[in-house]
Amino acid sequence: MDDPLDSPLQDTAAAGTDAPDWLARVPASARAAIAAASETVTVEPGTVVLVEGTEPDAIYHIEEGTLAVLRKSDDGEHVLATLEAGELAGEMGFLDGAPRSASVRAETPTRLTRISAERLRRRADGETALAELRAALAVTVVGRMRAHNDRYVGALQREIATLKERDQFGYFYLYTLATMAIGTIVHVIVAKGVFNVDTYTYRFSWQFLTILLVPMAVVIWRMKIPLADLGITTRNLRQSVLEGLYFSVILVALLSLLMVILVSSGLNAPPTFAFNLEGTLAYAAHSFLQELLARGFLQSSFQRFLNDRRGIRSVVLASMMFGMFHINYGPSAVALTTVGGFLFGAIYMRHKNLAGVTILHVTGGVAAYMLNLM
């Protein structure tokens, strides 16, 4: 360190203007004594200002420059914090008298104001001024600890959230693997004729869907996903319903046009427009559960874990995965449900409500059945 210079605290302390916050808390009667016990020193980069383990003899106010707070450990020296102009160094030891808990080193050319406890005690009013100084520093230290605690709590909450997210992703990943395995098994064992099972019946479709929904329910429970995050909510309900009805009209029109083309070309028999209320209600429930699985759970989870703000990747992945669930019905069913999933997923992205896509799903399925397209 260089030789002491006149302290800038001598002017600010006496005038009571432009003083640091900690000095402003000291009564005016004690500021002159503190200023008289202070001195300004300048240090070059690399200079150790405070040494860990030594007795505290002074505090330092940083006028200019940067200091690094260092602590030794078995694997070397670590930087705990960086102190900038306007901050204090060494105030903890100055308060409790314990040996320095860390070293402090200048990182840049630095100008410091050093306040010596010993120099204060030599004055007639020194003990009083020292007590006032420590009281002001205690308030400053408490404020700093409060700010550090807030940052620590915030960092801890982010770490907990990260660990929870990682844990939830593990459950979701296992579910996706399990469901893909289930789809493959159904295709190989059932569709290939190992068992004499008709895959085109409502009974089989309900059984297959239940096999997929049970582990999904377990994962949702373990991940503690709110129903609103799965699209079961009144939020945006009106917009979702209106949009579902709007696209249903367009879809029915397109299916009707397709029916006319197929009948005219002789590729399809004329429709009978048969309608079954019980079957329609069952299909509506089945469609809702399919949308809960594909859009509410799969698509929403993909968007969350992939941090997919626009949602395009999530729509594609969920649609492709949902399409593979229909592999036992053949390649055409996979292609149709995948392409349909793109449309349903895009609509769901707009409102995050299952009402609209469920209406569209039910309308399209019922219309296709009545028009003899399936």
Which range is least confidently modeled, 40-49, 105-114, 316-325, 340-349? 316-325
Residue 354's pLDDT band (cuts 50, 70, 90): very high
Output DSSP code: residue 5. B
Domain boundaries, the chain: 9-148, 224-370
pLDDT at 4 over 90: no
SS3 at position 128: helix
pLDDT at 366 over 80: yes
- Please give the average per-residue pLDDT across 206-226, as a whole number: 82
147: CB partners within 8 A, 6+ apart: none
Q: Which DSSP helix (H) or strand (E) runs through 18? A: none
284 vs 276 pLDDT, higher one? 284
What span, in angstroms and rounded, lies between the C-alpha atoms of 224 and 213? 16
Q: What are the tokens at 299?
A: 């698509």
Q: What are the distances in angstroms from CA 350 to CA 235, 240, 303, 336?
A: 12, 8, 13, 22
pLDDT one-digit tens code per residue, 68-127: 988 887 777 788 888 888 888 888 888 878 888 888 999 999 999 898 888 888 888 878
pLDDT one-digit tens code per residue, 299-326: 888 888 778 888 888 898 888 888 877 7
Chain-centroid distance of CA 234 in Å reads 24
Q: In sequence order, what E strands does the chain have? A: 38-43, 48-50, 58-64, 67-73, 76-83, 88-89, 103-106, 110-116
9-148 belongs to CATH 2.60.120.10: yes
Complete DSSP assignment for 130-151: HHHHHHHHHHHHHHHHHHHHHH
